[in-house]
Amino acid sequence: MTTSRPTIEQEYAAARPKSKALYERARQSMPSGAAHDGRVFSPFPFYVERADGARKWDVDGHAYIDCWSGHGALMLGHNHPAVVRAITEQAKKGLHYSACSELEVRWAELIRGCVPGAERVRFTLTGTETTSLAVRVARAFTGRDDIVKFESHFHGVHDAFVAAVKDPFEIPASAGVPASTLKTTLVARCNDIAHVRELLDEHPVAAVILEPAGGRSMTVPSNPAFLKALREETTKRGVVLIFDEVVTGFRMAAGGAQEYFGVTADLTCLAKAVAGGLPGAALVGRADLMDSIAFSGDAKRDRTKRVADQGTYSGTPLVAAAAIAQLEILKTGEVQRELNRLGDRLRAGMNQALKTRGVRGCVYGASSMFRVFLGADAAELGLDDWTMDAARLDRGMGAALSGPLHLAMLVNGVDTSRGNSNGWMNGAMTDKDIDQIVDAFDRSLARLQEERRLA
Ligand SMILES: Cc1ncc(COP(=O)(O)O)c(C=O)c1O
């Protein structure tokens, strides 16, 4: 009697009994059994026990090259000795002083030294909090209410920005947000400066916000010429230009996407890599705008016109220590240059695997970010000439393909951001790791072909 080979789903599940049991337990306590929408997937997520360098290990003993890299925060990989040392030493000196410390001053100086236009720094805790503060500063400064955002661009989960994140863009990304709140969020088409002009002509716009490299970590890449046009248009009209560099900050270069593209925003939202892998974030930008937060000494102005901001965990010493350790290394740009080289190698290698196997698809992105799309090539998707359809790129290859591809990559020892097949690389990766990821992708394609999941 011949036994047929198990499917990818069966193979994944059979080899992870401990993860399966943990997931069953988790579902009794947490919605969907997880702490983050993006971490849960079918048939069940794997549970990680430890991580080091470019890798993490699950409770069933499987090793994965980590292309999710702490949701992009771990620019140096897991447990970089300098970061671990800084955290360990600081933990003995105190976690939270309820007071100022020299650490936050040094952290702010490092950011100012790297990020174009960072004349002032305000520490926050998360990306969501930071984009929310940026909007408040822009509104207080301009006296206008409306904000322009772009289809597919993600700025965290607060009310104003649940609009137009995912296809279909007219349905907000979350329930529970009043339509009246969303009235002040205007949605523009990606890379369409004429549409932006129209919106700016017709509405009292305080700010335009975008992920400069493209919506959802380059799922819908931005045309560099569009960024320059946007800069000119917003300057001309006194509209605040906000770059959400939560992912790209300190990643594309020491000065983030602003250095990479040569365009400087008025306000920049930083999170992830800015805090050394611990929870921390910062709003930075032009002094006159940022000083909307500053006390002036004029009691009436401070009570009526000032932007109030306070967070229990903002700029805490433990986070500052980790951040300083990471930024002291990232500030030279060397890590990013090497990672950008590895990123080029990785995308080229994966695209070659598609070609060799005769699979229609492409792996695109820039710097140390990549995204896999199966079912259409770059030209067909309009990626070569900026004619792309944001909704199509956003939908990606669809769950029927992205699910099995994700599982196949896991079975072959590589973890990527689930669902949308995005990856962020980290500084612990070597050329050998790139070879291993390309090989895992090649094997995964073969597996999808074998199971007749590819057209
Ligand atoms: C571009 C961008 N902005 C904002 C956020 C929200 O950041 P946080 O999860 O720290 O709230 C994210 C999170 O992934 C992001 O990718």
- Per-residue model confidence (pLDDT) at position 451: 95
Determine whether the shortest distance from the Cβ of 68 to ligand 1 is under 6 A: no
Q: Is 244 close to ligand 1, i.e. is its CB under 6 Å away?
A: yes
Q: Give the number of other CB atoms < 10 A from CB of residue 357.
A: 15
Tell the residue nearest (CA) to atom 12 of ligand 1.
156
- Taking the C-alpha atoms of residue 79 and residue 85, their distance in angstroms, rounded to an integer, is 9
CA of 111 to the centre of ligand 1 (A): 18
Spatial neighbors of 109 by CB under 8 A, at least 6 apart, are: none
Q: How confident is the model at residue 4 (pLDDT cuts 50, 70, 90)?
A: confident
Strands 240-244 and 220-221: unpaired
| Distance, CA of 175 to CA of 359 (rounded, Å) | 38
Distance (angstroms) between ligand 1 centre and the Cα of 368 equals: 17
Cα 430 to chain centroid, rounded: 22
pLDDT at 453: 92
Query: Which H helix or E strand runs over 357?
Result: helix 334-357
User: 274, 76 in Cβ contact below 8 A?
Assistant: no
Q: Looking at residue 78, what DSSP letter applies?
A: B
CB 309 within 8 A of CB 122: yes
What are residue 363's DSSP bridge partners? 372
If DSSP codes are grouped into helix, strand and coil, which group holds residue 389? coil
Q: Is the peptide bond before 116 cis (omega within 30 degrees of 0)?
A: no
Q: Which helix (H) or strand (E) holds 129?
A: helix 127-142
pLDDT digits 0-9 by tens, 201-214: 999 999 999 999 99
pLDDT, one tens digit per residue, over 111-146 is 999 999 999 999 999 999 999 999 999 999 999 999
pLDDT at 418: 74
Q: What is the pTM of this model?
A: 0.97
| CA–centroid distance, residue 247 to ligand 1 (Å) | 7
Within 13 Å of residue 280, how many CA atoms lie on the same side as its CB? Answer: 27
Q: Name which residue sits closest to atom 3 of ligand 1, judged by CA.
A: 155
Instruction: Report d(CA 341, CA 287) in Å as an integer.
Output: 35
Dihedral, 199, 201, 202, 206 alpha carbons, nearest 10: 70
CA of 272 to the centre of ligand 1 (A): 8
Superfamily of domain 8-77+334-450: Aspartate Aminotransferase, domain 1 (3.90.1150.10)
CATH architecture of 81-330: 3-Layer(aba) Sandwich (3.40)
Per-residue pLDDT at 455: 72
The whole-number pLDDT of residue 1 equals 54
Does the CB atom of residue 128 touch ligand 1 within 6 A? yes
Containing H/E element for 58?
strand 55-58
Predicted pLDDT of residue 420: 59
Q: Please tell me the distance between residue 360's alpha carbon and the centre of ligand 1 in angstroms.
A: 31
Instruction: Return the HEC string of 6-31.
Output: CCHHHHHHHCCHHHHHHHHHHHHHCH
Question: Ligand 1 centroid to 127 CA: how many Å?
Answer: 5
Best mutation site among 129, 132, 152, 154 for ligand 1, i.e. most ligand atoms within 8 A of its Cβ? 154
The response to whether residue 209 sits with its C-beta less than 6 Å from ligand 1 reads: no
CA dihedral 445, 403, 408, 430 (to 10 degrees): 90
**CB contact at 8 A, 221 and 366:** yes
Quick one: 401 exposed, middle or buried, by C-beta within 10 A (0-12, 13-18, 19+)? buried
Predicted confidence (pLDDT) per residue in 72-106, tens digit: 999 999 999 999 999 999 999 999 999 999 999 99
pLDDT of residue 293: 98
pLDDT of residue 106: 98
pLDDT (tens digit per residue) in 351-386: 999 999 999 999 999 999 999 999 999 999 999 999
Domain borders along the chain are: 8-77+334-450, 81-330
Element (H, E) at 202: helix 193-202
Closest ligand 1 atom to 245 CA:
1
